[in-house]
Amino acid sequence: MTENALSDEEYFEALKKIMTLQGTSQVELKPTCAPQFMSLAKSMGVKTRFTRGCLAGTSYCCILPSGQVHVCPYLPIEAGHVRDKAFDEIWSESEVFIKLRGQVNYEGLCGTCEDHNICGGCRARAYYKTGDFMTADPMSAHCYKRQEGLDE
């Protein structure tokens, strides 16, 4: 997949196009698992009914057929197992989920980003690139440039 993935520039360009269309369309557009769309929409003044880019661990997770509770289908970090514990306990007590709910636990640019509460960065992309799911989304370098007006 990496070979066919958009470059960082193409990724943000695509998000900008989608959010520009959202500004004039009645159809709700949501670039799933491209959490920076929320930050872009905010800076472009585009209204969206969505509240956060990455929902993993805050209002979303997945339970595998085996019973393992994972942060999201793309991120193989286990938060618990429904054969060992009730799901509601895992959801409210798992260290993994608790970590994901506090910006203070995030590293790099995502940890200090003013748009963290509406974006959060893709934790799966951070994990894939670095092995650490709480570090900065590799796309965050471009978020920073955009916020500084260097990437317009």
Q: Would you tell me which residues interact with ligand SF4 (CB under 6 A)?
A: 33, 35-36, 39, 54-56, 72, 74-75, 109-110, 113, 115-116, 119-124, 137, 139-140, 143
Cβ closer to ligand SF4: 30 or 83? Answer: 30
The region that residue 81 occupies, defined by phi over 0 for left and psi between -120 and 50 for alpha, beta otherwise, is beta
Matching residue, tokens 């959801």: 91
Provide the β-strand partners of residue 147. Answer: none
Cβ closer to ligand SF4: 77 or 90? Answer: 77
Closest approach, Cβ 89 to ligand SF4, in A, equals 22
- Collapsing DSSP to helix, strand or coil, 79 comes out as strand
Closest approach, Cβ 9 to ligand SF4, in A, equals 15
Closest approach, Cβ 76 to ligand SF4, in A, equals 11
- How many CB atoms are closer than 10 A to CB 27? 6
Q: CB within 8 A of 133, min separation 6: which ones?
A: 71, 75, 77, 123, 124, 126, 127
Cβ closer to ligand SF4: 19 or 72? Answer: 72
Cβ closer to ligand SF4: 22 or 39? Answer: 39
